[in-house]
Amino acid sequence: MKVLLINGQNHKGSTYHIGRILAEKLTPPEDIDEIFLPRDMPHFCCGCTKCFMESESLCPHYEVTKPLTAQMDEADVLIFTSPVYVYHVTGSMKAFLDHYGYRWMVHRPESKMFGKQAVVISTAAGGGMKPACKDIADSCFYWGIAKTYRYGLAVHAIKWSEVSAKKRQQIEKKTDQLAAKIKGRAGSVRPSLKTKGLFKVMSIMQNRGFNPADKNYWEEKGWSTRGRKPWKDK
Ligand SMILES: Cc1cc2nc3c(=O)[nH]c(=O)nc-3n(C[C@H](O)[C@H](O)[C@H](O)COP(=O)(O)O)c2cc1C
């Protein structure tokens, strides 16, 4: 099982460690890759909309995002980590997600996403995990990821070294549970009814089509005209 950790921070604090603990319960270290933000993708979306309207390859940051996109596509499980910064994800994580707006189902979703599982992990000193997890889980859902788990934890600490023994026990238990669920679904995960429903609505919309780049993509895949489904694509 290939696991990719996408860290919305450059440092290895509480959030990173929880993600890494989970990753190591899923697969051997050689099958774990890590992206750190902003180190590996230091750009903000400049709002040119070329990705939506023409092609993602016209994004001014395409050469930077291209290898990261390949890493995401290759992984079976994506683990996103972000500390809560003022009740939301880090700016770096948000900037990363903005670069994949073109992959939302309303535009050009990638078939491989419909067979993946994702975990969204966020820690805070006290509060804000729910909105922070939602910031990332929204993209996972609209990309078509089959199953997304959320784990928000108030660590009551600023540093990993300050996280109490009791909290660490909770983390072990929760990551054991998540690992068991993920392994149980590995290889056979299918999108939820909600995802399939949204895909159906999008296929009707794309059949009429208002953006040629998206309309052509859906037609080529056979999703809007031939009733094909990304979760059945080979
Ligand atoms: C800029 C900034 C904003 C923060 N905002 C919040 C917040 O809104 N709520 C909260 O409880 N903690 C907040 N914190 C604390 C961190 O979320 C918390 O310490 C987290 O566990 C750090 O994770 P890390 O060790 O992975 O960096 C903030 C920290 C920073 C640096």
Which residues, listed in sequence order, are joined to residue 80 by a DSSP beta bridge? 6, 120
Nearest atom (ligand 1) to Cα of 13: 25
pLDDT for residue 145: 98
* Ligand 1 pocket check for 127: Cβ under 6 Å: yes
Consecutive 10-residue averages of pLDDT for the chain (234 residues): 98 98 98 98 98 98 98 98 98 98 98 98 97 98 98 96 98 98 96 97 93 97 96 80
According to DSSP H, which parts of 144-164 are helical? none
- Cα dist. 108→21, 117, 122 in Å? 33, 19, 28
* Residue type at 122 in one-letter notation: S
The alpha carbon of 156 and the centre of ligand 1 are apart by a number of angstroms equal to 10
pLDDT for residue 233: 74
Q: Rounded to whole angstroms, how far apart are CA atoms 40 and 27? A: 23
Q: Rounded to whole angstroms, how far apart are CA atoms 37 and 43? A: 10
Q: Model pTM?
A: 0.98
Token readout for 1 is: 């099982």
pLDDT for residue 234: 59
Residue with tokens 């700016």: 91
Nearest atom (ligand 1) to Cα of 84: 17
Nearest atom (ligand 1) to Cα of 87: 8
pLDDT for residue 209: 84
32: buried, middle or exposed (CB in 10 Å: 19+, 13-18, 0-12)? Answer: buried
* Ligand 1 pocket check for 84: Cβ under 6 Å: yes
